Chain A
Amino acid sequence: MTKPTLAQPVPVPASRILAVGGMRGGTLVPNDDIIGPINSSDEWITQRTGIRTRARAGREVSVKDLAVGAAEDALAKAELTGADLGAVLVSTVTHFEQTPSLAALVADTIGATPAPAYDISAACAGYCYGIAQADALVRAGTAEHVLVIGVEKMSDFIDPSDRTISFLLGDGAGAAVVSHSETPGIAPTVWGSDGGKADAIYQTRSWLDYRRQEMGEPEPPTPELAEEVSAMTTPTLRQQGPTVFKWVISSMPDIARRAVAAAGLQMSDIDVFLPHQANMRITDQLLKLLKFREDVVVGRDIADTGNTSAASIPLATERLLREGQAKSGDIALQIGFGAGLVYAAQVVVLP
C-alpha cells in the first residue's frame, strides 16, 4: 500500500518590498550634550563618526511604541492593515523581556493577530536577516504579506561613560512590508556569521550573572571585565572599535560584491547604497572600496539619527524616499553587519 503524498504550499515566483516606514526617537541629542561623561568634544565625535546628533526617545516611549509607529507608517504606505499580514518579524536587541516576544506584542497592537510573530537577534544585520526570511516566507507560499521591523531603543542599554560605542547610538524603528510580486524585487541574500569574533561587540556581563549577584550569589567576573563591571553593574554594551572597523572594511566589500553578482547585476547597476549606519567613516571607506557609479545615492541618515542598529537601514531608506533623493523602482544594495559577528546583504528594488 503506498503512503499518501503531503500537500505543500505552492511557491510564488517573486517577492518585493511594498513599502518602508519609520519612526525615530523624538529628540535629536547633539554631541555637546553627551561629551561630559566621556571627556570628549564635538569635534572628536564628528571627525571619528560623522555624527552630529542622535535620535533618542524619552522614558515614556518604549521599544514597542517605536516598532508600532514604524509598522503603522509602513502599513499605511502599503495601503494594508494588520489583518492582511501573514507574519510579523521583529529584529531587536533592546526588548528587555526574555518572553513573550516583542513581535507577538506588536502584532497584536497593529491588529495582525493571529499572524505568526517572532523576534530575530542579529543586531545591526537584523533588518537584512528579516528581509531574507520574509522573502523566503512569501516566495514559499507561506504568507502573502510579511511585516519586517528593525527596532532599537539603544538609550535603554547604553552607558553614558562608555567611550567605545554608546555615544554613537540612537533610538528608532524601521519597517518594511514584503509581498507577492509580478517581477523579482528581492535578490538572493548573501549572509553569514562568525561567533569566533563574539568579543568584538559584546555585553559586559550576562543577565544571569547579574541575576545571581542580585540574589546574593555572584559569579566572579573575568579579570579583564572586573574593572568595568564594578563601575557599571548593569549589563551594557562595549565594542573594540578599530577591530570592528577593520573587519567591516576588509570583509564586507566582498559580501557586497557577491550580493550584486547573486542578483545578476554589475556594481554599475546599483542606484542606491544602503549600508548599516554604523559610522560615517565606515560608509565612506566602503564607498571607496566598492566601485559604484559616481551618481550613486548613499544613505547617510547616521549624521542626524545616529547608529540605530537593526533600524538603521530601513530608516535610511525611508528618509531617502521621503526626501526624494531616491525613488520608487531604484535598485538598492543594502548591507548590515554587527555584533555576532553577523552580516547580510541583498539587492532590492525600492518601493
Chain B
Amino acid sequence: MAHSEEDILAGLAEIVNEETGLETDAVQADKSFTDDLDIDSLSMMTIVTLAEEKFDVRIPDEEVKNLATVGDAVKYIVQAQS
C-alpha cells in the first residue's frame, strides 16, 4: 500500500531521530540534511537504507546526492512507490 506524503515525512522523522537523536519536530520538509540537520554522508546512507526498508522502495546510490532536503526525499519516495 502506498504511503501518503504525511506518512513519509513522519516516518523519515522517526528514522532521523533514531539515527541522530534529533527531535522529530526538527525534521521538516524544507530542512537540508547536511546544513540544517548536520547529517554526514554515512548517516545519510543509514537513513536511506532504513527508508528503503520502511517504505519498500529502492533509492539508488547515485540518487542520494540529489536528496538535499527532507522534502526532496519525501518527493522521491512518493514517486518511487508508484
Is there an interface contact between B49 and A242, defined as CB atoms closer than 8 Å? no
Is there an interface contact between B61 and A48, defined as CB atoms closer than 8 Å? no
Is there an interface contact between B46 and A249, defined as CB atoms closer than 8 Å? yes
Is there an interface contact between A246 and B49, defined as CB atoms closer than 8 Å? yes
A245: Cβ under 8 A from any B Cβ: yes
CB distance from B58 to the nearest CB of A (A): 11
A243: Cβ under 8 A from any B Cβ: yes
A212: Cβ under 8 A from any B Cβ: no
Residue interface mask B6-31, A partner, CB < 8 A = 1: 00000000000000000000000000
CB distance from A178 to the nearest CB of B (A): 35
A291: Cβ under 8 A from any B Cβ: no
Kindly state the separation between the CA atoms of A243 and B61 in the bound complex, as whole angstroms. 6
Residue interface mask A120-163, B partner, CB < 8 A = 1: 00000000000000000000000000000000000000000000
- The number of residues on chain B lying at the interface, defined by a beta carbon within 8 Å of a beta carbon of chain A, is 11
* Chain A positions within 8 Å of B45 at CB level: 242, 245-246, 249
Is there an interface contact between A250 and B41, defined as CB atoms closer than 8 Å? no
Is there an interface contact between B42 and A250, defined as CB atoms closer than 8 Å? no
Is there an interface contact between A250 and B61, defined as CB atoms closer than 8 Å? no
A285: Cβ under 8 A from any B Cβ: yes
Kindly state the separation between the CA atoms of A163 and B53 in the bound complex, as whole angstroms. 30
Is there an interface contact between B42 and A48, defined as CB atoms closer than 8 Å? yes
Chain A residue with the shortest CB-CB distance to B45 = A246
Is there an interface contact between A245 and B42, defined as CB atoms closer than 8 Å? yes
Kindly state the separation between the CA atoms of A48 and B39 in the bound complex, as whole angstroms. 11
From A240, A243, A246, residue with most partner B Cβ within 10 Å: A246
Of all A-B residue pairs in the complex, the 7 with the closest CB atoms, nearest first, are: A246-B45, A242-B41, A250-B49, A243-B61, A242-B45, A245-B45, A245-B42
A-B contact pairs, 23 of them (CB 8 A): A47-B40, A240-B61, A241-B41, A242-B41, A242-B42, A242-B45, A242-B61, A242-B64, A243-B61, A245-B42, A245-B45, A245-B46, A246-B45, A246-B48, A246-B49, A246-B61, A249-B45, A249-B46, A249-B49, A250-B49, A250-B52, A281-B42, A285-B46
With A242-B45, A249-B46, A279-B42 given, can you name 9 additional A-B contacts, CB distance below 8 Å? A47-B40, A240-B61, A241-B42, A242-B41, A245-B42, A246-B45, A246-B49, A249-B45, A250-B52
